[in-house]
Amino acid sequence: MVKRESHSSDHLTGGSPRKIMSTKLATALAAFFLLASIAVIIAIATVQTHKKTYLSPGLKYGIVLDAGSSRTTVYLYQWPAEKENNTGVVSQTKKCLVAGPGIAEIDADSWKNLKKCMDEITKAIPPSQHNSTPIFLGATAGMRLLYLKNEDAANNILLAVQKYLRSLPFNFQNASIISGQEEGLYGWITVNYLMGNFLEKNMWNAWVHPHGAKTVGSLDLGGASTQIAFTAPDDATGEDLIRVALYGYEYNVYTHSFLCYGKNEAEKRVLAKLAKMSTNWKRVNHPCYPTEYSITVAASDIFGSECTKREVPATYSPDKNITYFGQSDPARCKDLVKNIFDFKSCQGKENCSFEGVYQPPVSGDFMAYAGFYYTAWALGVKGSNSLEKFNSTMWSFCSKTWTMLKKNHDITEKHLKSYCYSANYVHTILADGYKFNADNWENLNFQKEVNQTSIAWSLGYMLAQSNMIPAEAKLLKLPIPNSIFAGLLFIFSALIIITLMFLIITLVRFCF
């Protein structure tokens, strides 16, 4: 009887003191493990995503002057200030084309136009950022040619430009002539940077090296030189191969620059060959110019270049004029343009482009920009197309008269007259020189910008000169690899489920 009363009393009060104590302890432990597991998961996720709660300090800016052979272009770039050493965020804010020739032929008007551009750029940057904004000038093939012809003249121009840039309210870095190899490498960096082949953000908002990412080749066509650059096999060696460390990864980059093979200088060489072969400079037939078109030029404009001095005829006089008459002859135009390339020096050599220059076989995708893009744009074959379409379009374009071309194309006459020549030039250097064919021509993509940022060597140049390309990948690696993070997430999730089940079972046993 006493035992029965005691049992009834225990039931009414919730159990014996020991049982009550045990239940409370189990509940407390379960709650502790539950909260601890949740806290650990939150801690891992917080570390993994690197999220910060401070306000952004704003934007930083950088200025690059691309002093090309035919003109100078000023680029203004910007990036979030807190990301300076964690790139992948640089974008183009403003672009200003300086009217007039390149700095190798700078005159009073050119100086005025340069100052107008710099005034525009200055207004686009907050005054508080002026002193910290780096400014660079890189002179390319036009100045390289002037340096070969007249070293003192080239140095005097650079000194004058440096003096002007130092007078601006920016952080002057340098103004120099860059090599063709540098120009090619910086173009390759720009292309792959804009394509996201160096960095990408993963699901945890961290910058990482893209898994399985492949680089894209770079094809740049300027006025006085042209550059090719692409990733070569690791075992490829030679003077045109450079091993570079970018974002913690090594690349074996082949890059070569051909001086005097830029679009404008190569055209002068075509005109020089025609004039040299002609006995009457009052009428020189030009198969690449359209029928009904004619132009008279000073002989000094053609033969005064470093690129045409080998073609100067014995009877040359700089005071003479030469008049060219268009013929609209696609077949002869192709032969003429091909004739300025030296392919004979590659006969019997494996992996050779032209002029006896070693080149590994091209592979993968290529971005063709600058003069390559504008030629494809004029023909209506920009983007990616087949070799057959490029050929047929080129043939059709070169067969048209001047009247037909002006009617069908909204292009200035200065450039329109030369697009048949430049189309044949592009075809010759790509197909006969670099060895693109029907199988891989579609890997060529003719573009001028990516994500509203111009494809130009200037961006890669600024990234490199500003030390915005870290040599190590420490900042880019996840604190915890994805696979380990997923495993830890699973383990702690399982612990939470087990703890909850234990808590539920304990409470059920207690209640019933």
| The one catalytic residue among 183, 265, 267, 311 | 183
Residue 58: how many other CB atoms lie within 10 Å: 12
Separation between Cα atoms, residue 235 and residue 214, nearest integer Å: 17
Is 183 tagged catalytic?
Answer: yes
List phi, psi (to 5°) of 226.
-135, 145
Edge-to-edge, what's the strand order for the sheet holding 72-80?
A: 91-98, 72-80, 59-67, 134-139, 171-177
Q: Are 41 and 438 in contact (CB under 8 A)?
A: no
Q: Are 225 and 141 in contact (CB under 8 A)?
A: yes
Reading phi first (left if > 0) and then psi (alpha if -120 to 50, else beta), residue 356 is in left
CA–CA–CA angle 222, 224, 229 (5° rounding) = 50
State the burial class of residue 25 (Cβ atoms within 10 Å of its Cβ: 0-12, 13-18, 19+): exposed
Q: Are 251 and 197 in contact (CB under 8 A)?
A: no
Beta-bridge partners for 358: 352
What are the C-alpha distances in Å from 343 to residues 287, 429, 507?
A: 22, 10, 88
State the burial class of residue 266 (Cβ atoms within 10 Å of its Cβ: 0-12, 13-18, 19+): buried
Give catalytic residue positions: 183
